[in-house]
Amino acid sequence: MLGRKKKSVIKRIWRKRIQPPESPTSSECPPSNHQSPSHPLSSQTNCFAQHASSPLSQSLATNTGVFPGSPQNNTIGNHSALKTSTLSILNQMKLEQLINLDCALEKGRTGPCVLVPNEEITIRRDIRVSPGFLSLVVWRYPSLPCDTILKSVPPCTPDHLYSCINPYHHTVSMVISPESPPPPYRERPPPPDRLRPPDQHDPAGLRYSSTRYHQSQETGGRIPTSGWMNIRYWENNRRVGQTYEVSTDTVSVLGDDTPLVSDSALCLSLLSSQCKSTEETIKIRNKIGLGILICREGSEVWLYNNSNIDVFVSSATLPRPIDDYSRIEQTRVYKVYPGHCLKVFDYDLAEHLLNISSRRTRRDGPIDVFYVNVSFCKGWGANYKRQEITNCPCWLQLHLEPPR
């Protein structure tokens, strides 16, 4: 009876795979009409022309210099060994592990780790991948190049003995060099939160009026905090809700009150329930879903985009041309695609920038480098039609506490 149930779950899991598209026989790309709503990047084809314009491909080209679908690229594709390797792993798993994996695939969210022995899998003679990479190809991104850099999503912590095959525990790590330009502009069609008590020094509804990041944007100085980061939510130039203080290493920012495994989460829809939002803001907020995960990892802060929409970020420590580091307040805006992650802050580099800014303090006033700006769906700056972040309908300020 147990064996029959296990086979049934395995069949159900395999049926949830994302089918890789067939390679086109002509020089033209076929229309992309097979996109799955729950897997926004699953419709990447093996046609170079169509791949070159896709968000996943643009990011991977930035990271590796190779477009998916180009002759130099190695993708697993619809190889017979893919099915054999996947079913071999599934058959060795316990029923409880299979149920956890099936649940994660059904709900399209994280969940518990599903650990299997970390043994390289030979797909073809020239392609060997990890079980974690295989799971991402089978159930999320079938055209993922084999040289893609992956990063585990906290709190997933696989080691050299075991690999996690929950596909929602892996993201594509964006690697941006200081000389690379920002991603091109691309127009797109349009758990209960644990807020702290109201802060007497931090009234809601304040108006944002400065694009400079001095030590004080609102109150004349940093508000003392026992956490390592404060999150403030804005809709255009209007503050919404109270400051959310973060003391745990990870925090999720959600669009709605979708329950998560993590107990540290900020829900934007609940924050804005007491005020009137614009139609554009509501539309974007409804698309955020699982939103973003912000993690402190040693001397770095990483942002994981778990939503189905693009996220735009800027900070003083994000890469820029070498000669731009003297202009600390002039930051670049980078796009983080769904299923991608980016190191958005580096404490070591921030300390170096502080030394630079200290020479300018007497002339320009103190400049705060311990911040990250995050906008959902809409970018801003020189490469976008919105020149200021205050023109973005739904965005966050992350204020990081300097090392003591």
Q: The domain that contains 305 carries what CATH number?
A: 2.60.200.10
Whether pTM > 0.85 for this model: the answer is no
- CATH of residue 151's domain is 3.90.520.10
Q: Among 193-197, 227-231, 299-303, 306-310, which stretch is predicted with the lowest mean pLDDT?
A: 193-197
Q: Which amino acid is at 74?
A: N
Evaluate whether residue 364 is within a structural domain: yes
Q: Which residue has the higher pLDDT, 172 or 198?
A: 172
| Domain identity same for 7 and 118 | yes
d(CA 196, CA 235): 20
Helix 2-15 and helix 80-91, axial crossing angle in degrees, nearest 10: 140
Per-residue pLDDT at 283 exceeds 70: yes
Q: Count up the domains in the chain and report the number.
A: 2
**Same domain membership, residue 161 and residue 48:** yes
Cα 251 to chain centroid distance, Å, stands at 13
Q: Same domain for 238 and 150?
A: no
The last residue of one of the domains, among 150, 173, 196, is 173
Average model confidence (pLDDT) across the chain: 76
User: In this structure, are 143 and 264 located in the same domain?
Assistant: no
Q: Which two tokens stand for residue 84?
A: 């054999």
Please write the tens of the pLDDT for every residue from 99-154: 999 999 998 777 899 999 999 988 877 788 999 999 999 999 888 888 899 999 98
Its domain, for residue 120, covers 2-20+40-173
Same domain, 248 and 393: yes
In a domain, 318, yes or no: yes
Q: Which domain-ending residue is among 153, 173, 193? A: 173
- Displacement of CA 174 from its chain's centroid (Å): 10
In a domain, 268, yes or no: yes
**210 occurs within a structural domain:** no
**32 token code pair:** 């992309």
Residue 215 counted as domain residue: no
Same domain, 152 and 50: yes
189 falls within a domain: no
196 in a structural domain: no
Asked if residue 244 belongs to a domain, the reply is yes
How far is the C-alpha of 305 from the C-alpha of 342, rounded, in Å?
9
> 152 and 248 share a domain?
no
User: pLDDT > 90: what percent of the chain?
Assistant: 46
